[in-house]
Structure 1
Amino acid sequence: MEDPALKSDQTLNPGLSIQKALLVVLGWLLVIAVIIGVVYQARLSDPYVQDVLHHEGTVAQGNAIFQLNCSGCHGTSGDGKVGPSLRRVTTHRSQVGLIYQITSGKTPPMPKFQANPQEMADLLEYLKTL
Structure 2
Amino acid sequence: MDKQLSKPDAIIQQLILLAMAVLLTLMLGVFGIHRIRVSDPYIKSVLSISGNAAQGQAIFQMNCAGCHGWQGDGSVGPSLQGVSKHKSRYGLIHQVVSGETPPMPQFQPNTKEMADLLSYLETL
TM-score range, shorter chain: 0.7 to 0.9
Query: Could you tell me how far apart the structure 1 residues matched to 2:72 and 2:65 are?
Result: 7
Query: What is the correspondence of 1:37-76 to structure 2 with a 5 Å cutoff?
Result: 37-76=31-70
Aligned residues: 123
2:114: which partner in 1?
120
CA 1:29–1:83: 2 relative to 1, 3 Å = farther
Q: What's the TM-score once normalised by structure 1's chain length?
A: 0.81
Q: What's the TM-score once normalised by structure 2's chain length?
A: 0.85
Q: Which moved more, 1:45-54 or 1:77-86?
A: 77-86
Amino acid at match of 2:70: T
Query: In structure 1, the residue corresponding to 2:22 is in which secondary structure?
Result: helix
Q: CA deviation at 1:14?
A: 4.4
Structure 1 stretches lacking a partner, 5+ long: 1-7
Query: Could you tell me how far apart the structure 1 residues matched to 2:93 and 2:40 are?
Result: 11
Q: CA deviation at 1:67?
A: 1.2
2:102: which partner in 1?
108
Query: Could you tell me how far apart the structure 2 residues matched to 1:100 and 1:28 are?
Result: 27
Query: Could you tell me how far apart the structure 2 residues matched to 1:19 and 1:101 are?
Result: 42
Query: Could you tell me how far apart the structure 1 residues matched to 2:99 and 2:107 are?
Result: 7
Identical-residue share of aligned pairs (%): 52
Query: Could you tell me how far apart the structure 2 residues matched to 1:123 and 1:35 are?
Result: 29
Q: CA deviation at 1:96?
A: 1.7
Query: Could you tell me how far apart the structure 2 residues matched to 1:59 and 1:20 are?
Result: 53
More helix by share: 2
Query: In structure 1, the residue corresponding to 2:67 is in which secondary structure?
Result: helix
* Pair member with larger Rg: 1
